[in-house]
Structure 1
Amino acid sequence: MRKILVVGAGQSGLQLALGLQSHGYEVTLMSNRTADEIRSGRVMSTQCMFDTALQHERDLQLNFWESQAPKIEGLGVSVAAPGSFDPGPSQRAIDWVGRLDGYAQSVDQRVKMAGWMETFAQRGGQLVVHGAAVGDLDYFSRTYDLVLVAAGKGELVSMFARDPERSPYAEPQRALAVAYVHGLGPRAEHPDFHAVRCNLVPGVGELFIMPTLTTSGPADILFWEGIPGGPLDVFNGVKDPAEHLSLTLELMEKFTPWEYERATKVELTDAGGTLAGRYAPTVRNPVGRLPGGGLVLGVADVVVANDPITGQGSNSASKCAAAYLASIIEREDKPFDEEWMRSTFDRYWATAQHVTKWTNAMLAPPPEHILNLIGAAGQLPAVADRFANGFNDPADFENFFYDPEKTQAYLASMA
């Protein structure tokens, strides 16, 4: 029986540990927190997962909350009219919603990771609650056939060198601020229809709103992405959750009044329901070298960290875990050497490269052909639907998004 160590108990680490466990591997999982500490702690992300990523969970029978979490059937885009932050119909230059072929869902990672961690232990997995340093891995690498690093923050990430060719941004491109709330009213035009709402405020940033399942039941996430130094970049140093929510709502009233009007009665789901921060989108070398000569393989956002503007983080983590699981099983009893590690990462990069390209494009001011595409989706439901489904399969954007000529030809074919 091959022995595998997984360091990090997020979407990818836990999905991979549980998947390996179900295939008879002897798996040890290292987490810096217990399940109870995770469940009662702060929110960790926004995690809207689309159909392909959800299917990876179903394949491993880990979709424990599928019947409870709101089914997200669409993805809407609104663009604030230039300079018009006055009430009235002129607020939005663009407003449409596309329908997803398969529904999306968001389960608060406090609920999911705590539940998965308990399942892993119940099924006989060895759970070590301890923060891991490079020195610890040096020791462990001699006793395990494979060490996977799925902890996307802290000292361990420094083992994986930044890949400058695949990382165009050296600095964070957005300041992020998340609030989990109860009491958000429905959109008047689609009261019974759950959708992720992407509100674009040109030159300022973006507001995303998504239904979720949290520790206290169904809720909604209010998520600002602010251009650094701009009017949304005001959450740094805000420690009080009530002040965080109050700022969130003030900014909604000013920049997205059509969303603010349904948020007047919201309250935080819990004292841990806010999060703020920023990080530079980075792709790293997937193989880390330990001081003693051992090798470790980086997983998910350890090696490919994108800005959450396209909502791909947990989707990519799930797809990475699925790709790595398949590669490990196919390897049978052959050594997990550096060549295998690089080819395993390349298998994941085949899908991740599309996420990185699209996400980095969305962080830049949109060129004219993209504005035309987003505008046309308001008149052509099939274009809105295709754009929405690109969140599930970002590879499709190659066919109609980046190249002005392809965009023009596509829109001409749909008109």
Structure 2
Amino acid sequence: MRKILVVGAGQSGLQLALGLQSNGYEVTLMSNRTADEIRSGRVMSTQCMFHTALQHERDLQVNFWESQAPKIEGLGVSVAAPGSFDPGPSQRAIDWVGKLDGYAQSVDQRVKMAGWMETFAQRGGQLVIHGAAVSDLDYFARTYDLVLVSAGKGELVSMFGRDASRSPYAEPQRALAVAYVHGMGPRPEHPEFDAVRCNLVPGVGELFVMPTLTTSGRADILFWEGIPGGPLDVFKGVKDPSEHLSLTLELMEKFLPWEYARATKVELTDANATLAGRYAPTVRNPIGRLPGGGAVLGVADVVVANDPITGQGSNSASKCAASYLDSIIGHGDKPFDEEWMQGTFDRYWDTAQHVVKWTNAMLGVPPEHVLNLIGAAGQLQPVADRFANGFNNPADFENFFYEPEKTNAYLASVSG
């Protein structure tokens, strides 16, 4: 039986550990927190997982919350009209919703990671509660056939050098602020189905509203992405959760009154329901070399970390775990050498590169043809639907998003 160590118990680390376990590997999982500490701790992220990523969980039969989590059937885009801040539809220059081919879902990572960790232990996995340092990995690399690092923050990430050719931004491009709330009303124009709402305020930032399942049941996530130094970049140093929520709502009232109108009765889901921070989107070299000469393989956002503006974090983590699982199983009992590690990452990069390209494009000022495309989606439902389904398969944006010629040809084919 091959022995594999997974360091880090997020979406990718746990999904990979559970997948390896069900395929007969002897798996050790290292987490710096217990399941109970995760469940009762601070929210870790926003997450909206689309069909392909959810299917990876179904394939492993670990989709334990599928019947409880809201089914997200659409993805809506609204763009604030310049200089007008009252709640009527005239205050939106653009407002549409695309229907998803397969529904999306969001499960608070505190719920999912705690549940998966308990499942891993119940199924006989070796669970070690310990924050790993590089010196620990030096020892473990000699005792395991393969060490996978999926802890996306802290000292371990520094082992994986930044790939400058694939990382155009050296600085964070958005200031992030998250609040999980109960009491959000439905969008009056589409009360019959749940959708993720992407609200764009040109030159200021974005607000995402997404239905989720949290520790206390159904909730909504209010997620601001502010351009650094702009009017939304005000959450740094805000420690008090209720102050964080009031700021969130104040900014909604000012910039996105139609979203504020359904948020007048919201309250935080719990005392740990807020989060703020920022990081630079970065692609890193996948192989971490240890002082003792061993090598470890980076997983998911250890090696490809995107800004959450395109909602790809947990989707990418799921796709990375599924791709790595296939590569490990397919390798049989041959050694997991550096050549195999690089090949395993390259295979994942085939899909990850499309996420990186799209996310970095969305962080910039949209060119005219992209504004035309988003505008056209308000008149042409097939355009709205295709854009929405790009969140599930970002590779499709190559066909109609980046180049004016392709965008124009596509719009002509749909409107003709």
Instruction: Name the TM-score, length of structure 1 as normaliser.
Output: 1.00
State the alpha-carbon separation in 2 of the partners of residues 87 and 221 from structure 1. 20
Q: How does 1:184-199 map to 2 (within 5 A)?
A: 184-199=184-199
Report what 1:227 is aligned to. 227
Q: How does 1:147-296 map to 2 (within 5 A)?
A: 147-296=147-296
Checking the alignment, whether the CA contact within 8 Å between 2:87 and 2:256 is kept in structure 1 is no
Return the letter of the residue paired with 1:129. I
Once the 2 structures are TM-superposed, how far is the Cα of residue 143 of structure 1 from its aligned partner?
0.2
| In structure 2, distance between residues paired with 1:87 and 1:311 | 26
Paired AA for residue 43 in structure 2: V
**What secondary structure, in the 3-state scheme, does the structure 1 residue paired with 2:322 have?**
helix
Distance in structure 2 (CA, Å) of the matches to 1:90 and 1:68: 36
Q: Which stretch of the first structure deviates more once superposed, 312-321 or 76-85?
A: 76-85
Task: Tell me which residue corresponds to 1:378.
Answer: 378
TM-score by length of 2: 0.99
Partner of 2:343: 343
- Alignment of structure 1 residues 32-51 onto 2, 5 Å: 32-51=32-51
Q: Secondary structure at the match of 2:78?
A: strand
Quote the residue 1:58 is aligned against: 58
User: Counterpart of 1:165 in 2: which secondary structure?
Assistant: helix
Distance 2:164 2:234 in 1: 30
Give the AA of the match of 2:19.
G
Rounded Cα–Cα distance in structure 1 between residues aligned with 2:396 and 2:248: 33
1:84 Cα deviation from its structure 2 partner = 1.6
2:18 counterpart residue number: 18
> Partner of 2:326 in structure 1?
326
Q: Please state whether the residue corresponding to 1:195 is helix, strand or coil.
A: strand
SS at structure 2 position matched to 1:142: helix
Q: Secondary structure at the match of 1:19?
A: helix
Instruction: List, as ranges, runs of 4+ consecutive aligned residues in structure 1 with deviation greater than 6 Å.
Output: none
Q: Residue type of the partner of 2:272?
A: G
1:82 shift after superposition: 1.2
The 8 Å contact of residues 7 and 13 in structure 2, kept in 1 or not, is answered as yes
Gapped regions of structure 1 (runs ≥ 5): none
Task: Give the superposition deviation at 1:89.
Answer: 3.1
Aligned positions of 1:63-78 closer than 5 A: 63-78=63-78
Q: Give the aligned residue type for 2:270.
A: D
Aligned to 2:128: 128
* Residue matched to 1:297: 297
Task: Please state how far the C-alpha of 1:88 moved relative to its aligned partner.
Answer: 3.1
Deviation digits for residues 39-69 of structure 1 (CA, Å, limit 9, x no counterpart):
0000001110000000000000000000000
Pairwise CA distance, 1:86 = 3.3
Cα separation, 2, equivalents of 1:96 and 1:189: 10
Amino acid at match of 2:106: S
Corresponding residue for residue 395 of structure 1? 395
User: What letter is aligned with 1:127?
Assistant: L
CA distance in 1, matches of 2:75, 2:185: 17
Whole-Å Cα distance in 2 between the matches of residues 191 and 88 of structure 1? 17
1: CA distance, partners of 2:241 / 2:91: 29
The amino acid that maps onto 1:10 is: G
**Secondary structure, aligned partner of 2:105:** strand
Query: Which whole-Å deviations, capped at 9, do the CAs of 1:53-99 have from their partners, x for residues lacking one?
Result: 00000000000000000000000000000122234332100000000
CA distance in 2, matches of 1:178, 1:86: 24
1:21, distance to aligned residue in structure 2 (A): 0.2
For 2:249 and 2:313, the matched residues in 1 are separated by 25
Number of residues paired by the alignment?
415
Q: Which residue of 2 is the match for residue 114 of structure 1?
A: 114
CA RMSD of aligned residues (A): 0.5
Whether contact under 8 Å (2:87, 2:261) holds in the other structure is no
**Structure 1 residue 414 and structure 2 residue 414: aligned?**
yes
Structure 1 residue 378, shift from structure 2 partner: 0.2
- Aligned residue for 2:355, secondary structure, equals helix
Take 1:402 and 1:87, find their aligned partners in 2: how far apart are those partners?
32
Gaps of 5+ in 2: none
CA offset digits 1:186-233 (Å, max 9, x no partner)? 000111210000000000000000000000000000000000000000
Q: Which residue identity is paired with 2:58?
A: R
After superposition, what is the alpha-carbon deviation per residue over 1:268-299, rounded to whole angstroms, capped at 9, x for unaligned?
00001000000000000000000000000000
Secondary structure, counterpart of 2:21 in structure 1: helix
Amino acid at match of 1:89: P
Cα distance in 2 for residues equivalent to 1:118 and 1:93: 48
Residue 218 of structure 1 aligns to a residue in which SS? strand
Amino acid at match of 1:163: D
> Partners of 1:382 and 1:155 in 2: how far apart?
46
Percent identity (aligned):
89
CA deviation string 1:219-257 (max 9, x = no partner): 000000000000000000000000000000000000000
SS in 2 for 1:49: coil
**SS of 2:142's equivalent?**
coil
